[in-house]
Structure 1
Amino acid sequence: MTALLQCRNISKSYGGVHALQKVDLKVEPGRVHGLIGPNGAGKSTFIDVVSGRTRGSGTVILGDTDVSGFAPNRRRRMGLSRSFQRTSIFPALTVRSQFELAAGWVDNDNTADLIDMFNLRGVLDVRAEEISYGQQRLVDLGLALVGTPRVLLLDEPAAGLSAAESHHLADHLLDIARRWNVAVLLVEHDMDVIFKVCDVLTVLETGKLLIEGPPESVRSDPKVIQAYFGSTA
């Protein structure tokens, strides 16, 4: 299967600190690819570089196009979308207004489908600051999916959610990847979500690729246990 997103030799330094060191990763359509690792491993930095929000080095290929030098908004128009650790919604705007604004930037307006998918029709005319945090997270995910992007980068979408909300979100992610054939790259600390939805996992440690493979293989790998817990005992 041809990867929709190919990342080659992705590197980023802050002064003398190497946040990422020549990381390779590819994500295929219809699959959820998890990116995990201890705090400070470089996961969010990787998504920032790939999305164009942070300038790094290396090559980012979307489909057949090298987008390494493209600005974030151009990458978004070409089908590379992302969410943030903190929701990027506007608290004072209604849910409806936010979807309308997002739809103005894309050619394919699929907002009606997204509103139904995430069960948001009942809060369309409510300001975002007045809905639950779980609903805010769904709005944030919905906005990232406006225009039906080919690749979706998610940075801790389950942060702050209850266990029930996290499992509900995981179901949505699987549905999105399979039904729309979207390539999903997921950074997440909730291991229940990771092992429920991911087809493959990449583990980073101090900015370097530690291991990549099927979730069950990665879970039991001694190098991963050492990286997370400091012991293989």
Structure 2
Amino acid sequence: MPRTSVVTGAASGIGRATKELLERRGERVIGVDLHDAEVTADLSTASGRAHLVEGVRGATGGSIDCIYAVAGLSVPGPDTVAVNFFGTVATLEGLRPLLRNSPAPRAVLVSSMAALLPSDAELVALLSAGDEPGAIARAGTLAEEPSTGQLIYASTKLALSRWVRRQAPAPQWAGAGIPLNAVAPGVISTPMTAELIATPEGREGLLKVVPMPLNGIAEPIVVARALAWLGGEENTHLCGQIVYVDGGSDAVLRGDSVW
């Protein structure tokens, strides 16, 4: 039987590319987004996250094979905290019970190479502790200044990468036969980055911060292919890995370090 997958952020960018790729391969895909999706849900709110789970349950009869948690924001404010970290975690934890009847359950999320960039230690700690009100408040404070507001996105992605590492080997994931992993893209040509890469000067400036010596800025399909493999039946033993699809940024910035 064809696999049934859920893709959040399915209306644009990496999420859309992933949904379209899976559908071309014959899978049934339930897209989730604020619009133009099988399930419309706002992952910045508790009610929206609950609606996501119930919407997917209703659309699938309560059984799915893979979760692709792709939805994310990059604005320097509290909404990025709510969607990127708490929305992603709620998606994975809320939909995990629907994987129980799959012969090959999988889960994968999108982090970012931005996890390697400067972040705010206090915000990361609040995220890791699961303190949403505290994290939202901290993000609000950081957003008051451009120099600190830019730390919010990287902080959410660092916390997500750590969450994957800590959760993947646990009984509810690996113990239940569910590989949980993440991809960490570099600069991808999506609506999220459109203004940043609109001019040669903008592209050059961004690539100084995010060096991508292998083929430069990528199209969303590049990340979608990696996601599809991680969420496919062939992936039986990758556990808690952060796979950098970044044209070499990780290798350049971290050198010999593996974490």
Q: TM-score, normalised by structure 1?
A: 0.38
Higher strand share: 1
Higher helix share: 2
Higher relative contact order (CA 8 A, sep 6+): 1
